[in-house]
Structure 1
Amino acid sequence: MPASKLIDNQVRVETPEGIDFVQAAAGPVPRILAYMVDLGWRCLVYMVIGILSAFVGGLGSGAFLILTFLLEWFYPVFFEVLRKGQTPGKKALGLRVVNADFTPIGWGASIVRNLLRAADFFPAFYATGLISMMLTGRFQRLGDLAAGSLVIYQEAERPLTVDPQIKPLMPSVPLTREERQGIVDLTLRSGSISESRQEELANLLTPVTGESGTAGLNRLKGIGVWLLGGKR
């Protein structure tokens, strides 16, 4: 693991099912480097727009000002919302913008965090934003605090798999939508949850399985495979 990750705080979020998810919040250095990469791309686009607008005269100057304004303020918003929280700079540094609960960031939160870059820049060179990141446990600048967003390291996606030894088992009682979703989630993510924690969660659904402990967990996983259509 890179040294930069070791010094960053670990952010923990607990789901309603009692499962903890942990991500590494990105500190100031990788975020500054990502910003510099994005700035380089924007400057390149500015040059192209400037050259093209020179051939149009006065109308081109007006169009140049409008396009540079939109690019400066909405370039990050476009990528954060439509490109899984990653501008080209963040993608190059392995970073991603998410909501505080690790869900994908939306238009509202992205617009807020980027419009407040002006406040983070004050008095110069993003001094306020840097101070804010150093004082908050999750390295959040003012825009992040207002929008409820985080910048985290992008973890490599792990395929969700099911133990091939588990055989499909039809539930003996009707299941609610929430119960079905919970059983499927537990079945797919069992590889990343300790056995004791799995049994603890399975015991909550004893009325569904009719058993507790390891027997109840195995039965629950069988129901999960059945709900998945018998897929392995």
Structure 2
Amino acid sequence: MLDTYREVVTPEGVALHLPAAGPVPRALAWGIDFAVRLGVLMILSMVLALLGRLGQGLYLVALFLVFWAYPIVFEVLWRGQTPGKRVLGLRVVAGDGAPVGWLPAIVRNLLRSVDMLPFGYAAGLVACLCDRDSRRLGDLVADTVVVHVPARLAHAPVPGVPALAPGQPLRSDEQAAIVAFGERAPKLVPARQAELAGLLQPLTDATGMEGVRRLFGIANGLLGRR
């Protein structure tokens, strides 16, 4: 089952494309979380064994919390991610792309008991394979979806050219375009830099590499640098 995109249109009319995660990365994330929980329980069992019968009672409480409260608390307080999901770059969100809340997180995790039927998450796997967004039964009922977290792109700093003020007022999108040019142009060959800068000759009143240098200066000015 390949990962796909779930399109959500916000009330403002903006289309969001959420990269839904398939069953394989989800299963790997679950395996990591399962290993974490087992490790926590092993440590607790060794510590609570020193308390005798009281320790046995506390261990049963801890067993319940680790296996049932663990995913709920992490998904709500850690922006939809458990440790396993964070390692795999996954996140649980609401069906409309909003952060997952307490009620959906509780519902989707309590329904794991249904997804596990008849064994080995068989029902959940069948649901994932049949749903275009790879949602298991718990996700369908809670209206949640597991998505890939988009990688954050690191922007290179604008070259250290003295700041310049633009010779005319600029809209916010024009300002963003000039700053983006300043951050990305150093990765281009000089000929391509000059070609792009030539499109803004009315703003810079220069061509070639001098136009590029002036755009770098305007970008630094827009960023508040000197």
Q: Give me the TM-score of the superposition, normalised by structure 1.
A: 0.67
Shift of 1:167: 4.0
Shift of 1:24: 1.1
Query: Which of the residues 55, 60, 64 maps onto 1:60?
Result: 55
The corresponding residue for 2:150 is 155
| Matching residue's letter, 1:49 | L
Shift of 1:8: 1.2
The corresponding residue for 2:122 is 127
Shift of 1:85: 0.7
Tell me, in whole angstroms, the C-alpha distance in 2 between the residues paired with 1:167 and 1:14.
33
Shift of 1:33: 0.3
| Matching residue's letter, 2:56 | S
Tell me, in whole angstroms, the C-alpha distance in 1 between the residues paired with 2:105 and 2:173.
34
The corresponding residue for 2:92 is 97
| Matching residue's letter, 2:97 | F
Shift of 1:23: 1.6
Shift of 1:16: 2.1
Q: Give me the TM-score of the superposition, normalised by structure 2.
A: 0.68
Q: Secondary structure at the match of 2:50?
A: coil
- Deviating 4+ runs (over 2 angstroms): 156-159, 164-169
The corresponding residue for 1:224 is none
Shift of 1:15: 1.6
Query: Which of the residues 24, 28, 31 maps onto 1:33?
Result: 28
* Correspondence list, 1:67-216, <5 A: 67-157=62-152, 167=169
Shift of 1:26: 0.3
Tell me, in whole angstroms, the C-alpha distance in 2 between the residues paired with 1:128 and 1:14.
30
Flag structure 2 segments of 5+ consecutive residues without an equivalent: 155-164, 178-221
- CA spacing shift, 1:84–1:158, aligned 2, 3 Å: farther
Flag structure 1 segments of 5+ consecutive residues without an equivalent: 170-185, 192-229
% of aligned pairs identical? 42
The corresponding residue for 1:44 is 39
Shift of 1:94: 0.6
Q: Secondary structure at the match of 1:64?
A: helix
Aligned length: 169
| Matching residue's letter, 2:13 | G
For 1:50-92, what per-residue CA distance to the aligned partner results, in whole angstroms no more than 9, with x for missing partners? 1011100011001000111011001011111111111110011
Tell me, in whole angstroms, the C-alpha distance in 2 between the residues paired with 1:125 and 1:30.
16
